[in-house]
């Protein structure tokens, strides 16, 4: 299993160098895209997809077994100031640092009207390990490669279907994430 959490330029390059790569990997669980949700860097595009839409397009067309963990599901679990206060208070070694670095994300998401920051990358890892906490649909996808909607992930025809996560057990996922950060001692 491969679990890329940034722009997937390296995965696309691997597929272009060796088309067999796509079928030699059991699954690619990718953090990226926004199918029905609005984007987070433009009205249409999620950040990882926007920064290399061509790469995601290559991967989606590859025939690999793909699960897309995009904004449709990652914005269903929001971490708030209160969550970071809990982590800071209970994890002396790392909690204060995590609280400090959360400021940027929290401020950004508040500026776009949300009450907390999305659990994007961690949810991708959780989806890879605990797919039972998620639901979605299988559909073929493509990415807009130019124009005002560059980076937009869209349903299409004539491509392999991918598993697009659209819903989740938000409480269980948030609890799992926070439990990993809270110091039990």
Known catalytic membership, residue 120: yes
What is the Cα–Cα distance from 151 to 92, expressed in whole angstroms?
Answer: 40
Q: Which residues, 6+ apart, have CB-to-CB distance to 61 below 8 Å?
A: 142, 159, 160
Question: What predicted TM-score, i.e. pTM, was given to this entire model?
Answer: 0.92
The mean pLDDT value for 99-108 works out to 93
Predicted pLDDT at 5: 86
If you write DSSP's letter for every residue of 101-159 in order, what string do you get?
HHHHHHHHHHHTT-SSEE-HHHHHHHHHH-GGGEEEEEEEEEE--SSTTTT-EEE-SSS
Backbone dihedral region of 65: left (phi > 0), alpha (psi from -120 to 50 degrees) or beta? beta
What is the end-to-end Cα distance of the chain in Å, rounded?
33
Predicted pLDDT at 149: 96
Q: What is the pLDDT of residues 3-58, one digit of tens each?
A: 998 999 999 999 999 989 999 999 999 999 999 999 999 999 999 999 999 999 99
Q: Give domain 1-20+27-76+119-167's CATH architecture.
A: Alpha-Beta Complex (3.90)
Q: Please, which residues bridge with residue 154 across strands?
A: 142
pLDDT exceeds 60 at position 185: no
Catalytic residue (one of 54, 120, 130, 157): 120
Contact assessment for residue 141 and residue 46, using Cβ atoms and an 8 Å cutoff: no
What is the Cα–Cα distance from 164 to 158, expressed in whole angstroms?
Answer: 17
Which class for 28: exposed (0-12), middle (13-18), buried (19 or more C-beta within 10 A)? buried
The mean pLDDT value for 110-126 works out to 93
What is the Cα–Cα distance from 100 to 86, expressed in whole angstroms?
Answer: 13
Predicted pLDDT at 11: 97
């Amino acid at each position: 299993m491969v679990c890329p959490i940034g722009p997937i330029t390296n995965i696309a390059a691997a597929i272009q160098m060796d088309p067999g790569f796509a079928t030699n990997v059991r699954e690619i669980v990718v953090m990226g895209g926004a199918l029905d949700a609005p984007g987070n860097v433009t009205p249409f595009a999620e950040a990882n997809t926007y920064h290399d839409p061509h790469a995601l397009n290559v991967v989606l067309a590859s025939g690999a077994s793909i699960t897309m963990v995009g904004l449709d599901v990652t914005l269903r679990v929001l971490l708030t100031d209160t969550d970071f206060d809990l982590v800071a208070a209970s994890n002396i070694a790392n909690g204060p640092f995590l609280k400090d670095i959360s400021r940027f994300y929290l401020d950004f998401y508040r500026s776009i009207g949300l009450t907390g920051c999305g659990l994007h990358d961690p949810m991708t890892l959780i989806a890879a390990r605990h797919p039972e906490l998620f639901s979605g649909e299988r559909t073929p996808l493509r990415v807009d490669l130019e124009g005002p909607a560059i980076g937009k992930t869209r349903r299409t025809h004539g491509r392999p279907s991918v598993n697009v996560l659209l819903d989740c057990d938000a409480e269980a996922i948030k609890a799992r994430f926070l439990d990993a950060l809270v110091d039990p001692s």
